[in-house]
Structure 1
Amino acid sequence: MFLLGHSCWSYVFSKLTGRQVKVYIPAYVALLAGVLPDFDIYFNLLIQHHTYTHSLIILLPICAVLIIRFKGLGLAFSAGILSHLLADSIVGTIPPLYPLSNFQLGVSLGLPSPADTVLEVGALGLVLVLSYLNGDYKLVTESQGESVYLVIPTVSIIALTLLFAGDNNVSLTAFAFSRKALTLVTLGHAVLLGILGLGVVQGVRAIIVDRKQPSPASSPLARMPQP
């Protein structure tokens, strides 16, 4: 699955899990969790993509530690991480027992494929609905400092896409519009990144406004002698 689906399904799984265990997981964390297994792309010279970070015998112990250490928040975050493996096993396969075995598990509906496009674009639609219901849409429509952290999943998605394309000698422009299914997924990425980018702008704006406001100690009233 592409990063559009991974980030969006991660948001859905993390947020719904967080609601069940009554913990708040920030939007940027919920979006980032499902992208983390693809961080092996950053270390392409050291490890092969889609191996260690897509193995259940590697990720399950890590998730267990997160849950023990951070309780409900760790559970919600782990749900986002594991959603990556679930998504990849639907459109392709994963090596759940790597490095002990190269056994591949998955439905292999295809990537790209109509099924993948439905899952990717559908996930984006669910994010829009869920963010409206839980109030996260305000990170984009209102000026608030927390919005600036949306830069983390934004940069991650862009950087991983560029690195993967470079490592595999893929022309992103030609690939993105080579099929109708890919065109829809590409437009979905553009919509998601556009929304996140707007949120980052709102966050920067909030920080600038906050810094321009005089502190209580520097106001004229604060310097007046008290009776």
Structure 2
Amino acid sequence: MFLLGHSCWSYIFSKLTGREVKVNLPAYMALLAGVLPDFDIYFKPLIQHHTYTHSLIILLPICAVLTIRFKGLGLAFSAGILSHLAGDSIVGTIPPLYPLSDFQLGISLGLPGPVDTALEVGALGLVLVLAYLNGDYKLVTEPHRESVYLVIPMVSIVTLTLLFAGDNYVSLAALAFSRKALTLITIGHAALIGTLGLGVFQGVRAIIAHRKQTRPASSSPTAECTTARVYSTE
């Protein structure tokens, strides 16, 4: 599964799990959780892609620790992480017992293909609906300082895509529109990145506005003029 599907399904599972345990995992963390297993791309060739970070015997203990340490937030975040393995096992396979075994588990419905395209584009649509219902849409429509954290999943998705393409000598421009399925997924990626970028912009706006409001009174022009008059009368 591509990063569009991983990030979107992660958001869905994390948010729904959080609602069940009565916690609100921040949107950027809900999107990021499902991308984390592909962070092995950052560490090539030290770590081969689709090995340790896609193994259940590695991720389940990590998720257990997160849940014990951070309670509901850890559980919601873990749901997003594990959604990555679920997605990969549907369109391909995962090595659940790595490094103890190279055994592969999955349905292998194909990537790209009709099922994968439906899962990825459909997930983006569900994210938009869920974000509207839970209020996260305000992160991209209104200035909020926490919106700036959306830069983390945005940069992760972009850099991982570029690194993966570079490592495999794939021309993204040629691949993106080589098939109808990939064209839809490419448009979905662009829509997601554009939305996250708008959120980051709103976050920067909010930070700038907050700094202007909290600027010390002594640094304002009015205060400086008042101070100057006081000294001049002395």
TM-score, structure 1 length as denominator?
A: 0.95
1:178 matched to 2:178: yes
Which is higher, the Rg of structure 1 or of structure 2? 2
Task: Write the distance in 2 (CA, Å) between the matches of 1:211 and 1:47.
Answer: 42
Q: Deviations over 1:4-24 (max 9, x none)?
A: 000000000000000000011
Task: Write the distance in 2 (CA, Å) between the matches of 1:45 and 1:212.
Answer: 46
Matched position secondary structure for 1:143: coil
Quote how far apart the aligned CAs of 1:214 are.
Answer: 4.2
Task: Write the distance in 1 (CA, Å) between the matches of 2:171 and 2:78.
Answer: 33
Quote how far apart the aligned CAs of 1:215 are.
Answer: 4.3
Match of residue 130 from structure 2: 130
1:76 matched to 2:76: yes
Match of residue 102 from structure 1: 102
Match of residue 36 from structure 1: 36
Amino acid at match of 2:18: G
Match of residue 3 from structure 1: 3
Match of residue 140 from structure 1: 140
TM-score, structure 2 length as denominator?
A: 0.92
Task: Write the distance in 2 (CA, Å) between the matches of 1:17 and 1:216.
Answer: 43
Amino acid at match of 1:141: T
Q: Give % identity.
A: 83
Match of residue 197 from structure 1: 197
Task: Write the distance in 2 (CA, Å) between the matches of 1:122 and 1:115.
Answer: 10
Gaps of 5+ in 1: none
Quote how far apart the aligned CAs of 1:41 are.
Answer: 0.1
Amino acid at match of 1:25: L
Matched position secondary structure for 2:78: helix
Task: Write the distance in 1 (CA, Å) between the matches of 2:111 and 2:216.
Answer: 57
Gaps of 5+ in 2: 227-234
Match of residue 165 from structure 1: 165
Amino acid at match of 1:185: I
Q: Deviations over 1:70-102 (max 9, x none)?
A: 000000000000000000000000000000000
Quote how far apart the aligned CAs of 1:42 are.
Answer: 0.3
Match of residue 151 from structure 1: 151
Runs of 4+ in structure 1 deviating by more than 3 angstroms, as ranges, are 214-221
Quote how far apart the aligned CAs of 1:217 are.
Answer: 5.6
Q: Deviations over 1:101-149 (max 9, x none)?
A: 0000000000000110000000000000000000000000001101000
Match of residue 17 from structure 1: 17
Quote how far apart the aligned CAs of 1:180 are.
Answer: 0.2
Task: Write the distance in 2 (CA, Å) between the matches of 1:214 and 1:84.
Answer: 42
Q: Deviations over 1:164-220 (max 9, x none)?
A: 000000000001110000000000000000000000000001111111124476487
Matches within 5 A, 1:112-127: 112-127=112-127
Q: Deviations over 1:3-57 (max 9, x none)?
A: 0000000000000000000011000000000000000000111011000000000
1:85 matched to 2:85: yes
* Inter-CA distance 22–213: structure 2 relative to 1 (3 Å threshold): same
Amino acid at match of 1:106: G
Task: Write the distance in 2 (CA, Å) between the matches of 1:214 and 1:69.
Answer: 35
Instruction: Provide the alpha-carbon RMSD of the alignment.
Output: 1.5
